[in-house]
Structure 1
């Protein structure tokens, strides 16, 4: 893909910048003002372009990186490439999309999950927990769920924010997906009170694990 095409795409993204949206996003640690629905429309038009995705990622700019994630081929990345990309992706939305749209589809999922889970950097560790939560829900074979609960119980209360969110999600997922550990997951959540008072919009489920677990179980059981 020619450099002029990269320049054209960057100009199109720049034109989508909205100062009001940037102000909102910056409250969540995201440094851009691009409407994500409009960004997705650009990606839909471009379709899959791995070479262009690589060039967009290398710009270092958040809208470009988000677009790169949407138009790349997840299975073409080597393990070390994904490891480097995650360590470059310090912006929450970039990290979230990289994990959910690329790493979760990668043949290197399990190796990266284990490596990141044990990382000393809490931001990287949060990615490991996110992948572990995915495994809890879809393929828990090989996971030591009681040990995960032990770790959450010991470390979640004082964990940095992004790591705490990831651990809390894992706690809720264990309670939702595994009835044999549900009571313990709820008890841990109630005792630690992490995100208990988090402001939750109407018609949205609280991230407080006991409420989250109860609501999702209720929906599944059709009560």
Structure 2
């Protein structure tokens, strides 16, 4: 914790706080520290229990994903209110644990929009990598019905899933584009030059073009 405190930078904190993350540690420096510490599950638990955002990010880098129970991961997500902690928990730990599918199903319809957003993030991953058994028309129905009025993080996750369906599954591409055009979610999102817009119809079109389909 003392070393993390030494790495904290006021300017980094200000930039992170604009995104809802309350820490001032440069992530490259955090990764370097994690590389030096290597995997230490007991230390990861202790760092997580501090409640400190930088400590929790470090914990997620040095933990052993397969060591967590489903119940532990569920509790951790509900405790993790910083967006970067939520993202890293899902992508670096839950996806590599034995429980991503159980948690995906449980989280998808959760009343907490942050938890539901994690469920949609895991669903997007399945759409791209293991779509077998997924009800893609049903997912499109849910997106069409709920995305427009969903809170920010949940809306973003549902939009990403919409785009992923359109990108990866040609048979549903036209419907995904129509849904995106009708709902207009993130249509006016400021996109830096050279980056792809998160507006689903544009996102789908650009990624399909890159794939040469």
User: TM-score if structure 1 supplies the norm length?
Assistant: 0.94
Tell me by how many angstroms 1:204 deviates: 1.1
C-alpha separation in 1, matches of 2:195 and 2:52: 31
Tell me the CA shift for residue 40 of structure 1: 0.4
2:117 to 116, 126, 130: 126
Please report how far the alpha carbon of residue 89 of structure 1 lies from its aligned counterpart in structure 2 after TM superposition: 0.6
Unaligned runs of at least 5 residues, structure 1: 1-9
Q: Please list the CA deviations of residues 59-117 of structure 1 after superposition, one character each: whole Å capped at 9, or x if unmatched.
A: 00000000000000101101100011011011100000000000001111111111111
User: What is the aligned partner in structure 2 of residue 215 from structure 1?
Assistant: 206
Q: Does 1:164 align with 2:138?
A: no
Q: In the alignment, which of 25, 29, 40 is matched to residue 31 of structure 2?
A: 40
Residue 205 of structure 1 aligns to a residue whose secondary structure is: coil
The aligned residue for residue 105 of structure 1 is 96
Structure 2 distance, partners of 1:47, 1:220, is: 37
Structure 1 runs, 4 residues or longer, greater than 2 Å off: none
- Displacement of 1:215 in angstroms is 0.9
- Equivalent residue runs for 1:1-223 within 5 Å: 10-221=1-212
By how many angstroms is 1:20 displaced?
1.0
Segments of 5+ residues of structure 2 without an aligned counterpart are none
Offset of residue 143 of structure 1: 0.8
* TM-score scaled by length of structure 2: 0.98
Instruction: Indicate the SS of the match to 1:207.
Output: coil
Alpha-carbon RMSD across the aligned residues, in angstroms, is: 0.8
SS in 2 for 1:195: coil
SS class of match (2:98): coil
Helix, strand or coil at the partner of 2:51: coil
Cα distance in 1, alignment partners of residues 5 and 202 from structure 2: 41
| Total equivalences in the alignment | 213
